[in-house]
């Protein structure tokens, strides 16, 4: 199965994110990948707002984790260690989306988060309405 990809334009940067919707896709995530390929990150869609737990077992990519609530507010940023089995647990019980991104695009997203937030919410609404 080909991964579902969303693209968003932030200022002059076209960013591409693979989307993990099913439980199977969320469990596998970016494990076993040795490079980012043609994506800038992976967006995980959870079924409902909740406390989320991630880990980096079998994950070779350096990344930032952005924890986003059901209103698309960025609530937490985590900086996990590659290949670590340590649990990465959200502080909030209201996480609906998690975005794993390449560190080199973090400044693009974080310095333009209000624009990114609007773009992301529009893309997710389209995905969920299908």
Q: In Å, how far from its chain's centre is CA 58?
A: 17
**pLDDT tens, position by position, 54-89:** 999 999 999 999 999 999 999 999 999 999 999 999
**pLDDT tens, position by position, 14-68:** 999 999 999 999 999 999 999 999 999 999 999 999 999 999 999 999 999 999 9
Judge contact between 98 and 25, C-beta under 8 A: no
- CA separation, residue 21 to residues 5, 25, 85 (Å): 11, 6, 23
Which secondary structure element, helix H or strand E, spans residue 44, and what is its range?
strand 41-50
**Amino acid 65: pLDDT:** 98
Q: Is the pLDDT of residue 3 over 70?
A: no
Among 3.30.479.10, 2.30.29.30, 2.40.50.140, 2.60.120.1140, name the CATH number for the domain at 4-128. 2.60.120.1140
Predicted TM-score (pTM) of this structure: 0.91
């Amino acid at each position: 199965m080909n991964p579902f990809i969303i693209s968003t334009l932030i200022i002059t940067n076209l960013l591409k994110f693979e989307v993990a919707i099913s439980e199977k896709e969320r469990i596998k995530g970016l494990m076993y990948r040795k490079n980012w390929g043609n994506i800038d990150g992976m967006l995980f869609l959870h079924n409902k707002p909740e406390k989320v737990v991630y880990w980096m077992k079998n994950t070779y990519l350096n990344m930032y984790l952005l924890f986003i609530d059901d209103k698309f507010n960025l609530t937490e940023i985590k900086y996990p260690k590659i290949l670590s089995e340590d649990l990465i647990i959200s502080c909030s019980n209201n996480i609906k989306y998690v975005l794993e991104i390449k560190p080199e695009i973090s400044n693009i997203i974080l310095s333009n988060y209000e624009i990114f937030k609007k773009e992301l919410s529009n893309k997710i609404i389209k995905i969920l309405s299908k």
